Amino acid sequence: DGENGKHAVLGWTKTCIAVHPSDFCVPLAALGAEVEVTGPDGHRRLTIDDLYTLPGEGQAPGTALRDGDLITALILPSGGKRFAARARYMKLRDRTSYAFAIVSAAAMLQIGDGRIKDARLALGGVAAKPWRATEAEAILNGAEASETSYRKAADAALADAAPSGDNAHKIELAKRILIRALKSAAAGTPPKMPALPGSVFAAGKEAR
């Protein structure tokens, strides 16, 4: 795995190879969700993609919030409902519960007549912010809903990836989790999601 096997492969610098730990923000980034920010200068909106910032040389990653700012609302785009029938978030982690993602992916699709009408994708665990995969989305839009298309999209999503040490394997893992998320999304959102392995909600487990 390498001593820094969990670190960034996209958008990193020599001074910062940390990754964003959130699960929740990855599908929000894919969906184009926004936050409402209230501060000394009034109200403004930021997309999740704009809220989080990448590191610069000698500068840690962070957010676009200013002194005195407070996030007062989360806004989900009404158009996001069109992805409800085909959406999936998948996460690869070291252990079955209470672990940050090594890599994760959110995939949302609109499919008609065997072709993808619209696609939204984001990756987690690969950069200092949730990583919106716009190049991959462009490849999928209008393409056949097939594994060949999904593999092309995954290659595009990680085209600029580079290991930040002994973590080159993470690039392949990210491609695989994105392909898997796309295949699962295309199959349809299940009416009920199973409990995660190791969860107190899994079969045979009792709540504590």
Convert the pLDDT of each residue in 54-87 to its tens digit: 998 556 678 999 999 999 999 999 999 999 999 9
Taking the model in full, what pTM does it have?
0.89
* pLDDT (tens digit per residue) in 146-175: 999 999 999 999 999 999 988 999 999 999
Instruction: Give CA–CA dist 132/27, Å, rounded.
Output: 9
CATH number at residue 41: 3.30.390.50
Range of the structural domain that residue 115 is part of: 1-188
111 in any annotated domain: yes
When pLDDT is cut at 50, 70 and 90, the band that residue 192 belongs to is: confident
CB burial string 11-25: b at 16+ within 10 A, e below: bbbeebbebbebbeb
Average pLDDT over residues 101-106: 96
* Count of domains for the chain: 1
Q: Is residue 198 part of a domain?
A: no
**Domain assignment of residue 82, yes or no:** yes
Given a contact cutoff of 8 angstroms between Cβ atoms, the answer to whether 137 and 123 are in contact is no
User: Does residue 199 lie within any of the structural domains?
Assistant: no
In a domain, 4, yes or no: yes
